[in-house]
Structure 1
Amino acid sequence: MELLVRVQSWNGSRPVGCGSALAPEYWPLCDVWGIAVQAVSGAGFVSCVVLMLVLLLRMACVSRRRSGTPALLLFLLATAGIFALPYSFIISLSPRTCPVRVFAFGVLFGVAFASLLARGLALLGVALARGWREVGVAVGLALVQVIVATEWLLVVLVQDKRTCQFSQSEFAMLQIYVMVLLAAALMTALRFLRHTCVTYSYSYTGRTRRQNKLQAALLVLTLLLSSCLWLVWITLLTYGNHAMGRSPLWDEPVICVALTANGWVLLLGHGFTQVCFTCKRNARPKDPPLDFTGWTSPREQPAAPPDLKTGTDNDGFQADADGRRGNREIRQICL
């Protein structure tokens, strides 16, 4: 009965299209905003699955595998989870949806932002995040949020024996480490953007330099939009909705819209573009082998004849010498 009163006060009444046999906690699924969120988030989830399949097929077909592909797969997996998470917020709060909200929200965003931070470190050339160690850095950073969320669930929900009774401020404070990851990833992306725009290296070609600039700009744009979305939904959840008198009514829709919008920002800004970059790098033909036709070893070359000039090569000198020898013989005969 308390759940029915909560749903009716939150959503007004049973929406049109919901059957009488449907439980009250599922009524928001039939509402207009619930249907819109489900459609948009479902499209994002399917897009993430398609991109992951493309990467897996690339890894199976291309012999030259990229070390950053596992980290990209981890990022797409977290983004797909973000698109699936709004369903737990559309359905009314219950002992079954509460652990999913509390645990999965911070962990999924922690994995996504940790992957972006690890990617930024790898682009900067940090030895800790090079090659296959990039995915290890992302997993290690995300494990901190897993420990924080697990401890919060055990302490608040089990020890205090409260059935999912927490304020919106407590939910926002649970995401402090995720916000730290977001800020660190943004600072790393800005540093990489400055590095690509200011410095110049002769080891990079023009195409690689342009691609690095585009990759840095997209990474910064993705993290900036994510920061704005987080600032908006935290402000509305902790202060704005209460100030406008919409606190119980708009809390779940705000989080659902923020989840869906942030998921599309992550997918379009980093996931889709990184898959395109990976496919282009794998499809780029290798440099043709050097052609040594016509080249001969120095030992096989015939030695050049010495160009030595002798006196006999001078015709004038030879004629003069012959004339003097003939005059000397004539004098001897006469004498």
Structure 2
Amino acid sequence: VSILAAENTGCGGDLNPEFYFLCDLRSAWGIVVQVLTALGFLISLGLLLAVLVRWMCVCGPCGRRGVRGAACASTALFLLAVAGIFALPYSFVVGLTEQTCPVRVFLFGVLFGLAFACLLARVLAVRGCRGRRGWTEPGLALALALVQVVIAVEWLLVVMVRDRGPCSYSQEEFIMLLIYVMVLLAVATISSDSQWPQYHGRLQGALLSLTLLLSVAIWVVWITLLTRGNRELGHRPSWDDPVISIALTANGWVLLLGHGFNQVRFMLCSRQSAKNQTADFSGWIITVDPTQFVYHQKLFVYY
């Protein structure tokens, strides 16, 4: 009977029940989440590699340090957080254990905290709030994300070290640990709802606003389902892990498509446009177009 059940589910007969959702054909959500997160993880790593190569060129012999180097650092941090978000659903597809519990509690808030902190820092940078040396953006993102690191570490120390208890949490407690992350998301969303500068800063600002609004919608849905919806529908706790896994996957793709791809594209296009410019000195003493100068100046300030 066990062999027949294993064949029907697609899992081996001797597989630990904690790993059934990794291969269970009757519960297809686990397999779908694995495929989508694996694809997103690989794309994020590819973009991260491109940004690191670009960063070495900007801050190395073929480039110069400054605003563009800081933008590369901030983009690299964001893509690192997105790659981690795509890897995190595996800890929810696998059942809750003493090994997966600390991973869930710590990385969920820290990765989203870093991603939303990078978005908030980018919003402020596009609006013109830059430091004197241009490195305020990645520094601010790291400082904001560090607060969530302290919160998660403190909870783990209190529960597992001081109280010497097993790592376990309720749905409400899990949400409480993410209050700071939700504050970051709210502040970034409110800050993005304003008049953007001219030129390509307006396009970048619109994409940031769309990314943040979609993230807010995803968070409202999964928190509502986790705290009330699953219980009222009579599917608690069987739907809790699938809801969080699907929310992680959806939000990861929103962050990657809404900001990751476009940020890398802005970065590479600005460098390519700078390379393709040729010197044309004909009539330069007689005619000077200040609007073109302002446009190119804006292009390199924002990127």
Structure-1-length-normalised TM-score: 0.76
Aligned-partner Cα distance in 2 for 1:292–1:231? 59
Aligned counterpart for 1:18 among listed residues 11, 23, 34? 11
Tell me how far 1:155 sits from its aligned partner: 1.0
What letter matches 2:119 in structure 1? L
Q: Which residue of 2 aligns with 1:150?
A: 153
Aligned-partner Cα distance in 1 for 2:284–2:220? 68
Cα contact 2:101–2:168 (8 A) shared by 1: no
Aligned-partner Cα distance in 1 for 2:223–2:90? 19
Aligned-partner Cα distance in 2 for 1:294–1:131? 32
1:80 lines up with 2:83 in the alignment: yes
Cα contact 2:57–2:63 (8 A) shared by 1: no
Deviations 1:175-207 (A, max 9, x none): 00000000111122113xx133xxxxxxxxxxx
CA RMSD of aligned residues (A): 2.1
Written as runs of structure 1 = structure 2, the 5 A alignment for 1:126-275 is: 126-128=129-131, 131-191=134-194, 194-196=195-197, 209-275=198-264
Aligned-partner Cα distance in 1 for 2:33–2:132? 36
Q: What SS class does the counterpart of residue 274 from structure 2 fall into?
A: coil
Determine which structure has more spread, i.e. the larger CA radius of gyration.
1
Aligned-partner Cα distance in 2 for 1:131–1:109? 24
What letter matches 2:51 in structure 1? L
Tell me how far 1:288 sits from its aligned partner: 4.5
What letter matches 1:195 in structure 2? W
In structure 2, stretches of 5+ residues that fail to align are: 286-303
Q: Which residue of 1 aligns with 2:300?
A: none
Aligned-partner Cα distance in 1 for 2:264–2:94? 33
Tell me how far 1:101 sits from its aligned partner: 0.3
Q: What SS class does the counterpart of residue 285 from structure 1 fall into?
A: helix
Aligned-partner Cα distance in 2 for 1:96–1:37? 20
Tell me how far 1:289 sits from its aligned partner: 4.5
Amino-acid identity (%): 55
Aligned counterpart for 2:23 among listed residues 17, 20, 30? 30
Q: Which residue of 2 aligns with 1:316?
A: none
Tell me how far 1:165 sits from its aligned partner: 2.6
Aligned-partner Cα distance in 1 for 2:185–2:114? 11
Q: Which residue of 2 aligns with 1:58?
A: 54
Cα contact 1:122–1:129 (8 A) shared by 2: no
* Number of aligned positions between the proteins: 269
Q: Which residue of 1 aligns with 2:292?
A: none
In structure 1, stretches of 5+ residues that fail to align are: 1-12, 197-208, 296-335
Tell me how far 1:159 sits from its aligned partner: 2.3
Aligned-partner Cα distance in 2 for 1:257–1:159? 33
Runs (4+) of structure 1 moved beyond 4 Å? Answer: 286-290, 292-295
Q: How has the CA–CA distance of structure 1 residues 111 and 264 changed in structure 2, closer, same or farther, with 3 Å as cutoff? A: same
